[in-house]
Amino acid sequence: MSFLRLSIACTFLAVSFHIYQNQVDWWIYIPVILSTVPLILFYSPTCKIFRMISSIIIVCGTIQTIFLTWIIYHFIKLSSTGGSLNEIKESKYTFPIALATLSNIYIRLTTSQSLGCFGLIRNILLTVFGTVIFLCMTVSLCSYDETLHHCNYIKII
């Protein structure tokens, strides 16, 4: 096990603990982040259970990230009328969820073993999910700093 994998897993554990301590609705945000930790530490591409769990995490994390980004997008639109994303603490949890999902996608893409048509379709789908997650991560950065340039463009759209 590499030091990088261990440090990423510890970071996800620390973020999960922080959310658990500071959020009443911790059960909404923690599952994707916390279930990423054993997959990062013990992932085996030949184990069907690990592949199934990582697929579920990728799908659920992508759906949750898109939903939270949609909420952030609408609050950015409202912030042009005087609202602020600082009022919603939950918007800051989109980035760690997206990062955990993106790390699962990275693990699945780098350890891919199937070479057939199904493997190609799966890899294309994972790449599309990764691109969508990355775009959602850029939007979620607006909850940390609303003066970023792309946040102003989102207000115009």
Annotated domain spans of the chain: 3-156
* Per-residue pLDDT, 66: 95
Does pLDDT of 63 surpass 90? yes
* Per-residue pLDDT, 83: 57
Of 81 and 148, more confident: 148
Q: What is the pTM of this model?
A: 0.88
Contact at 8 Å (CB) between 26 and 20? yes
* Per-residue pLDDT, 1: 65
Structure tokens at 150: 């792309």
∠ CA 31-104-44, rounded to 5°: 105
Does pLDDT of 47 surpass 70? yes
- pLDDT tens profile 95-144: 999 999 999 999 998 887 777 888 889 889 999 999 999 999 988 888 88
Does pLDDT of 8 surpass 80? yes
- The overall longest dimension of the chain from CA atoms, in Å, is 53
* Per-residue pLDDT, 30: 95
* Per-residue pLDDT, 116: 82
Distance CA 16, CA 11 (A): 9
